[in-house]
A and B are shown apart, each in its own frame.
Chain A
Amino acid sequence: MSERLLNLTLHVWRQNGPNDTGRFETYRAKDITTHMSFLEMLDVVNEELIEQGKTPIAFDHDCREGICGSCGFMINGVAHGPQRRTTACQVHMRQFEDGDELWVEPWRAHGFPIVKDLIVDRSAFDRIIQAGGYISIRTGSAPEANEISIPKHTADKAMDAAECIGCGACVAACPNASASLFTAAKISHLALLPQGQAERQDRARRMVAQMDAEGFGNCTNHGECEAVCPKGISLDWIARMNRELVRAAFKSDASVESSAAKGV
């Protein structure tokens, strides 16, 4: 509760567009209270920039309560900043000390081209979901909900995987810019549930192929993704994705079809 005032030096990555080379520019953030969120601190800097006739720092943000997944950038080399299991919008300035020097950089990955300043294009994630991250169910054709019984433990596990907010911090933090954690979370969420069985093999194959096609790196088990994930998505899901893919690879089309026909 006790409030402090901070004076900070910000080094912020400024880049006009995807083709601009980009550079760090230095700003002073004066009289920042520790109750501000990191984004509110940037708001204050931006409002000053506008009043001085300069272009404000562009950054993605929306809900500002850690669930939409819009925000995210590197603060001093860590995706979403110093607080574990917290998105950039929920990081508050009490995490910092007066006189701190902060380096603010966008996610950097071949699969996430920079749009402007701290904004990157994460549409690759959408395309990975489009490749099969769903259950093909026609609106209105669903059976009565309680006809499908799912053990509580399984439902809870599926929920653990489903909590991913698609912010991209996993890619940003991974030394290989791999999208494995994101892809694995969705594959696992749907593979765990009985509703997801019919398309299970096909989904794993297609989503992994799309992940590769987007130019993301592969998982070399550093665990950086899990460490920065604001929702604490576990590395174990990646093991599960690998297993799903291997299993899919050794199931022939015929067996997939027959298991689908049997409703297994």
Chain B
Amino acid sequence: MQRALTLHQTTIGKKVIMALSGAILVGFTFGHFLGNLNLYRGSEALNGYAETLRALPALLWTARVVLLVAVGAHIAAAYSLWTRNRKARGSRYEHHKDLATDYAARTMYWSGPILLLYIIYHLLHLTILPAHPGDVYRNVVEGFQNPLISGVYIVGNLALGFHIFHGIYSAFQTLGINHPRFNAYRRDLAIAICAVITIGNLSFPIAVLAGLVTL
């Protein structure tokens, strides 16, 4: 087992940690999004869903711990790789032209921290310091009626979209999940998952702002 223990010391091992923790986080995000769809079913549905979760403290806290560890591992590995990559270039090019990379890939080191700040805000806003404890529906709708708060959510979710688009595609590479027959679909799958989550999440503040969801 000595070999498995040293995996995390390699850059590839760190990438594996990022891919696996990222997979957990994307999985959670997807579930979170599905649960949030209750918003469209009205106050009772959403609050009921929240109540159900709170009624299972063991599950809730296990999930929270797992997520916290995943976020921690994800950030620690990212930080370690980031400092390494900065050093790896040495001096900068005077002229440099990108040929293949895309916006999402280039901005991972920006979308990541933005996402972190957004998550902290989101937790403070709706989990830790809610205006109306126990009434999730009201907290969400009242919050989103404020264009400023909605703006934060929209920016945060756009960052999330870019981040998980490149993240999902990258995870396939990092975990070595490739096969000539399926390689072409890896990008499509990344786009699909990312589109569902992003469009779905963006729809909540927009629906509130548009007056489709009201108190």
Contact = CB atoms under 8 A, between A and B. Distances in A.
Touch between chains A and B, by CB atoms below 8 Å: yes
Contact of A108 (B89, B105, B183): B89
Q: Which of A212, A222, A226 has the most CB of B within 10 A?
A: A222
A249 B7 contact: yes
A226 B183 CA distance: 15
Contacts of A217: 11, 81, 84-85, 87-89
B89 A228 contact: no
B99 A246 contact: no
20 contacts: A78-B97, A105-B95, A108-B90, A110-B90, A177-B85, A212-B11, A217-B85, A218-B12, A218-B14, A220-B105, A221-B173, A223-B105, A227-B99, A228-B99, A236-B178, A238-B173, A243-B178, A245-B7, A252-B1, A252-B2
B89 A246 contact: no
A219 B18 CA distance: 12
Main secondary structure of the interface of A (DSSP, over half): mixed
B: interface residue count bin? 35 or more
A242 B90 contact: no
B13 interface: yes
B105 A221 contact: yes
A78 B99 contact: yes
Contacts of A110: 87-90
Nearest to A113: B90
A205 B2 CA distance: 12
Contacts of B93: 74, 77, 105, 108
Interface string B165-180: 0100110111111101
